Amino acid sequence: MVMKKAKWIILSITLLLAGFALFEIYNLSEQIRKSEEEKVRLWANAISQKAQLMNYSEEFFAHVALDEHRKMEMYTNILRSFDRMEGGSDADFSLDYVHYIVDSCETAIIITNKDSVITVPSELAGQKLEGPLLEEFAHNEPFHYRIWGMPMTLYYKESRVYTELRAVLDGFNESLLNEITNNSVFVPVLIVDSLQGEVLGSGNIPESEFNSPEKLSDKLCEMEEANEPIEFRLANSSRAYLYYENTPMLKWLQWVPLLYVFVFLVLILVTYYLIQTSRNMEQNRIWVGMAKETAHQLGTPISSLLAWTQYLEGKTFDANYAAEVNKDIQRLETITHRFSKIGSVPELQNENVCATIQEAINYLQTRVSHKVKFVTNYPEEDILVPLNAYLFQWVIENICKNAIDAMDGKGTFSVIVSADSHHVYVDLADTGKGMPASIQKRIFDSGFTTKQRGWGLGLSLAKRIINQYHKGRIYVKYSVEGQGTVFRIVLNRE
């Protein structure tokens, strides 16, 4: 019973520790998952804010470009007004005024005549506007006007401030795209155009997952289900969309709860299997032990009967012989009764406990070594206790046989019976080898034995008979190595 409890305790502790370890692993994975989600969220927010900044920057530059266009339009209108002036000092003044406008304007301009010969600025005057210079000033639509009847054309390009700011923005756009595709949190991303047909950039995604229109469409749908795409503008004012999904680690961590449940179920099944296996092994051991105990119990009366048969051959019949043979036959009947009671609820009847004990002693006394001395000490009055005599005598015989083995067939076996108003105490003492404390704790465990040919069932059955069937107690009261052992049986009087 102690071993069973120990097994259950060990298995329970193992299960609890394993469950606690799995729970901690689950908590750790949840913390990592939340941390990964927070990283992705912060990254997405940062990218969204930068994308919004890009959009604002594009709007700013659009306003700047429009403002510069209006300035150039204003300059052209001023120049058109010269067409209504007459020559002379006023014309010279107007020409000086044009040069003042050109010098004070931060926007680079070129004015040509009808033959595309540059007249303004003065350092380029006389040159023809063509080649790389024409390409440089051809980004914006030119203004056409007349001055003093001569057709003129004004070309312009963005101001120095606009150009420098635009270069900064282009660098910011490029760094943003690099940051998106080569992000440090390993977020899989795709950047596509507004028609979602061209991939402008990718990061942390194998190209094989979007190298065809069908795969790209499926991948974008999958990523859109995970997170809403972020819209932003590129440097050329075209719109683009950023699609992103959870990191590989975050995807894996999403399966941790199911893995946790699976491992825990497997652990429960393994634990259940080990318990069942242990129980089956114990039952098999008990059945084997029962068979051995049966053979052992039957051995004594059978051997006695064989001895009587040999002794009676060729001798005159004596009534004492018949009495001894009859005792062995009764012994066989007793053994049959004992084994028939195992597994069923035995009937208890008020029996004289001293007489029941003495009956067992009498049978054994004539069948063991004469070097074993039996000493009994009973109260004078009869002590009636609810007993099953067959099973109780079995307990006495098992303890007695163990005592004789411990004494190596020589010593004193004592039985002392005492009682109070509620209990009866039966002390069974021997002068044998005694037991250390480590053995005392396991002496009643099923299958535990110190004998080479023992099966460890005698005392286990004795405890079952006393504790379960008679609602009493049996335990080692006293044992010292080299001095002997005392077993105590406590029975209820009612």
Q: What is the pLDDT along the chain (494 residues), one digit of tens a residue?
A: 445 566 667 767 776 777 777 677 777 777 776 776 677 666 667 766 776 777 777 777 778 788 878 888 887 887 777 666 555 545 555 555 555 655 555 678 888 888 888 887 878 888 888 888 888 888 888 988 887 778 889 888 877 777 777 777 777 666 766 666 666 567 788 888 877 668 877 877 888 888 888 888 888 888 888 778 877 766 555 677 888 887 777 677 667 677 777 877 887 788 778 777 776 676 656 655 665 566 566 666 666 766 766 666 666 656 666 666 667 667 676 666 666 655 566 788 999 999 999 999 988 887 788 899 999 999 989 999 999 888 899 899 889 989 998 998 899 999 999 999 899 999 999 999 999 988 888 888 776 777 666 556 778 888 988 998 899 999 999 899 989 999 999 999 87
The CATH architecture one would assign to domain 2-161 is: 2-Layer Sandwich (3.30)
Q: What is the pLDDT of residue 82?
A: 67
CA 249 to chain centre: 16
End-to-end distance of the chain based on CA atoms, in angstroms? 26
Candidates 108, 40, 34; CA nearest to 71 is: 108
377 phi, psi to nearest 5 deg:
-140, 100
Helix (H) or strand (E) holding 122: none
Degrees to nearest 5, angle at CA 25 with 22 and 30: 125
Size of the chain in residues: 494
pLDDT confidence of residue 283: 61
Q: What is the pLDDT of residue 243?
A: 82
CA–CA distance, 94 with 83 (Å, rounded to integer): 10
Query: Which pLDDT value is given to residue 355?
Result: 94
The helix/strand/coil state of 381 is: coil
Q: At 455, which helix (H) or strand (E)?
A: none
Q: Which residues pair with 202 in a beta bridge?
A: 190
> Interhelix angle for 256-312 vs 319-341, to 10°?
170
Sequence ranges of the domains in the chain? 2-161, 181-252, 345-492
Positive/negative CA dihedral, 197, 199, 204, 206: positive
What pTM did the predictor assign?
0.43
Q: Decide: 157 and 136 in contact? Cβ < 8 Å.
A: yes
Adjacent-strand bridge partners of 480: 484
Vertex 12 angle, CA 8 and 18, to 5°: 145
Distance CA 239, CA 231 (A): 7
- The set of long-range contacts for 25-29, using a CB threshold of 8 Å and a minimum separation of 24, is 25/256, 25/260, 26/256, 26/257, 26/260, 29/253, 29/256, 29/260
Place of tokens 């051997």: 303
> What's the CA gap between 283 and 265, in Å, rounded?
27
For domain 345-492, the question of CATH label 3.30.565.10 is answered with yes
pLDDT of residue 494: 79
